[in-house]
Structure 1
């Protein structure tokens, strides 16, 4: 007979509570821990030192983000531009071993004149790409009013760097059961980032993945941002949540993406997000940081020995799927 283990967390101002009083409430209470950190539910102590898993059902089966699981690869363009482009990209990155397709329907941009994404119509194209490829979908929500329609399509809802401290949005996604990818803010400290995750966890959603995408520093001449590789071991010591690295946004230049991705794997990351576009020179957004499809295929081949060395690579990463593209104005399907 299996024993039932429950963890009960007390949050709020608990300084005056004596742990021994809680311990004496019942003979079935095995251990009482005081979590000193302000991020209670996100802290590693909250789960007795056990790292959590985020399991995401997809058409190709469930994919698990977590420390003791294979590396999860997310790939795709910055934004969804048209049907042929997004489906072609989905099929090609899946063939190279990706598990999720990323693509923005709603895009927060520094300039109001830059391409902002196609909005709701792009969501329908992502849905077609899912049917065509079987990949899971990760896409960003920017406004609480859009959450329901984004969640209908997304297997993982992304909170972008510029919305990391949009507390109304964090509470809203926390009230859903949909897994959440929380990107680190442009100038956010690790504690601020974890406190943002705490908002989601406190609202009832335990399925949070943290994504380091580079922070703003004093030298922006040669890279777009500074990728904080040290965040990986620091987070491992502080939180139970899975960790993703986005070297594309961090470096801003495609030629640096493979090297930084490899560094992240060596540091123990759980997932990589790589921007991929069939023709980066003509991309409507973030072309310079996007790998070509051929570049992504080469990247996956180069990642294989390192991933295997660290025990984070599977046959599914490196065995190309035999896919054929069939696109019409209304539907797209995959074979293989």
Structure 2
């Protein structure tokens, strides 16, 4: 349930309304908009039946939130969320590029790739220190030593660190080094892990599951947000389908669909979708063209020697080419489309 405040509602009116809702035993979430403030009421709404919500100070109207993912819903939070990572903003028109190796192998490579990423306009450095692998006999990551390598690259370039967390037992060590915690496809529905992440104050990139629906993806985000962490970035990395020519099938249609459903930033992972280097840039371009808030891309200076996923890692020259192409791109604006769509519903050209 949300309360839409009147245009020009005073801070005193907003505070009094919040105080009354809390006095009734409910928590609130505040979504400041360009013209109006929206107050989301969290918790079981049954005890609010009969309460004079519409007469609270400054309230314009009371709306039900139909989506089961309350905090992640755009009904609950009409304006785009903008997440700040050490000065790097994501969402609300702010585009972000995250680049780096799939797995951290050695400090020389990580520092070099971080410098390449920064020189070509990337905003953050990605790198895996803990790796979920299909086989238990393949490289599983360098652990904390890998995190230290990422920190060295950050010292050299200033790029914030994005790295994956796989287990509750590793939260403390990952929290120490990471600026953004990544939850991979295999852990999208690891609900105990999501709830623990929700207790942290670090931004989270949440990838969709191997065969998840949009609703399931958003409900997983809700697990994190229900514990208090609203700094969630959704990542589309494709889903497993019957098509064997790519690693996963990336449906870029989901970008505008999800933007209509949620206020959270949405980025695209073309590397895990393609699985093959030659297709990564095309998928990256497509994702940004339909209005994604950013990309997370794998890059390596010697892919054949990469410790994981070398086949899908861009070479530095490929990354430079892609970044130059993206500079020429005018991304689709979802807000512009919504306004156009509203006009289209009412327009009617009669031909005699």
Unaligned runs of 5+ in 2: 1-7, 15-29, 31-37, 334-352
Residue 54 of structure 2 corresponds to residue 23 of structure 1: yes
| Match for residue 43 of structure 1 among 73, 78, 93 | 73
In structure 1, the residue matched to 2:301 is 278
In structure 2, the residue matched to 1:120 is 144
Asked if the contact 1:19–1:34 (Cα under 8 Å) also holds between the matched residues in 2, the reply is no
Q: For residues 1-336 of structure 1, what are the structure 2 equivalents within 5 Å?
A: 3-4=10-11, 5=14, 6=30, 7-14=38-45, 17-18=48-49, 21-24=52-55, 26-47=56-77, 49-57=78-86, 62-69=87-94, 71-220=95-244, 222-307=245-330
| TM-score, scaled to structure 2 | 0.82
Residues 36-71 of structure 1, C-alpha deviations (whole Å, 9 max, x = no match):
110000000111x211111111xxxx01000322x2
Distance of 1:191 and 1:16 partners within structure 2: 27
Secondary structure of the 1:209 match is: strand
Secondary structure of the 1:187 match is: coil
Unaligned runs of 5+ in 1: 312-336
Pairwise CA distance, 1:258? 1.0
Decide which structure has the larger Cα Rg and report it: 2
Distance of 2:9 and 2:200 partners within structure 1: 30
Pairwise CA distance, 1:14? 2.8
Distance of 2:118 and 2:160 partners within structure 1: 10
Pairwise CA distance, 1:152? 1.4
Residues 83-110 of structure 1, C-alpha deviations (whole Å, 9 max, x = no match):
1111111111111111111000000011
RMSD of aligned residue pairs (Cα, Å) = 1.8
Distance of 2:325 and 2:79 partners within structure 1: 31
Secondary structure of the 1:45 match is: coil
Q: Name the stretch that deviates more: 172-181 or 13-22.
A: 13-22
| TM-score, scaled to structure 1 | 0.86
Distance of 1:2 and 1:21 partners within structure 2: 18
Pairwise CA distance, 1:28? 2.6
Asked if the contact 1:19–1:33 (Cα under 8 Å) also holds between the matched residues in 2, the reply is no
